[in-house]
Structure 1
């Protein structure tokens, strides 16, 4: 990617990582807990409109522990393929948060998420605050802010508006539009969109077909090989 990273630890990381550890400890003391997980094999790891695997296949898996209070902690991982000089081959995501109903039709999920890239030659690690407001389980608005967006020293605010449309018990559509406001980047950020069709196969497997598109600012920021229009096919399951 055409993003400049630093080799030193950014000043916000120590505080944010401390909050992540404190949140995990709180969940461990929160009483009854439930464990769940997920796994996926995808033809292309596309995240916020740009590929994280240079168009190659990626393997992904994650686990989540939830308390009755709504507190939860999760860890997930994926294979990645960034610019060769970074030597990045894997991504680990650590999350602590809370989710619950605000009213009959409204729900909120708020969390702290830390992206970590082991064994890289530059400091790609970064942390962000996320929130998702959901209406009737099928419509949602997500906001994510970080003082070190994409592993840089600059802030970024990501916003996404999305909808889920069940067509029948076995098939649903999901449409998403997002904009990433990035400090000190050409154009001030970029826009992208995604349209997915998800088929329920034999439980717990699903097949997802997604079309992605991003604007010229994304191509200028990440490079033609990372942004633009692309397809993604994934076999995914939850347990």
Structure 2
């Protein structure tokens, strides 16, 4: 996930793939067995927090996750293209549980790593995730905070806060969007990003998504320019 030289397989992936958003649900919590799932997502390019990660080339993200009651864990791998790096891998663990009718609290850890990072460039990063979401019935909204004390080779602490919302507009169509703000110890690293898009379920396990993404991070150049990204996700 680089933003320094920077990383999200975007919108559609955002929830499905980056499986770290949600994990357990109330129904799973009532069982005493491990539930497994996997997903494969392809996108026209890989964007993370509004910033290009695959040099404008298509990207593929494969993930596997498991839940046991309210606990969840998962791992994923995707292609990137920056600083001579081709492959990123991610791990996540957490606990998600309802705290009120329609409201879910989620706490977890996410680790980003790189298989072929240049010697001496320690980009591996761990973030603490705190999230709260509410389902209003056909419309949902949430807020997520990500916190780290060593942000991708900067040796600086950082925080990221994002608010998101989605609404079901028909049986197969969902409109969703989010606004996030990345903060580093140095104000020079602060920026805001946003996206809005539509997803269509074309089969029980296949979702297509198209999304507009932009940021105010002019200092990052073309990597943070506005763009439209299309993706598809298959769940197993």
Note whether the superposition's TM-score is higher than 0.5: yes
Residues paired across the two proteins, number: 206
Could you tell me how far 1:151 is from its partner in structure 2?
3.3
User: RMSD between aligned alpha carbons?
Assistant: 1.9
Change in Cα spacing, 1:4 to 1:200, as seen in structure 2 (3 Å) is closer
Q: Distance in 1 between matches of 2:103 and 2:3?
A: 39
Give the match for residue 132 of structure 1. Answer: 131
Q: Distance in 2 between matches of 1:128 and 1:151?
A: 13
Asked if the contact 1:219–1:226 (Cα under 8 Å) also holds between the matched residues in 2, the reply is no
Asked if the contact 2:3–2:48 (Cα under 8 Å) also holds between the matched residues in 1, the reply is no
Gaps of 5+ in 1: 6-29
Matches within 5 A, 1:217-232: 218-220=217-219, 223-232=220-229
Give the match for residue 117 of structure 2. Answer: 120
Confirm whether residue 93 of structure 1 aligns to residue 95 of structure 2: no
Change in Cα spacing, 1:89 to 1:35, as seen in structure 2 (3 Å) is same
Change in Cα spacing, 1:97 to 1:124, as seen in structure 2 (3 Å) is same
Could you tell me how far 1:175 is from its partner in structure 2?
1.1
Confirm whether residue 238 of structure 1 aligns to residue 232 of structure 2: no
Give the match for residue 37 of structure 1. Answer: 38
Asked if the contact 2:105–2:131 (Cα under 8 Å) also holds between the matched residues in 1, the reply is yes
- The DSSP-based 3-state class of the residue aligned with 1:152 is coil
Is the strand fraction higher in 1 or 2?
A: 2
Point out the structure with max Rg over C-alpha: 1
Could you tell me how far 1:150 is from its partner in structure 2?
3.0
Asked if the contact 2:122–2:152 (Cα under 8 Å) also holds between the matched residues in 1, the reply is no
Q: Distance in 2 between matches of 1:33 and 1:2?
A: 35
Q: Distance in 1 between matches of 2:78 and 2:106?
A: 22
* Deviation >6 Å, runs of 4+: none
Deviation digits for residues 21-70 of structure 1, max 9, x if unmatched? Answer: xxxxxxxxx952110111111001111110111111001010111002x1
Could you tell me how far 1:72 is from its partner in structure 2?
1.1
Q: Distance in 1 between matches of 2:184 and 2:226?
A: 21
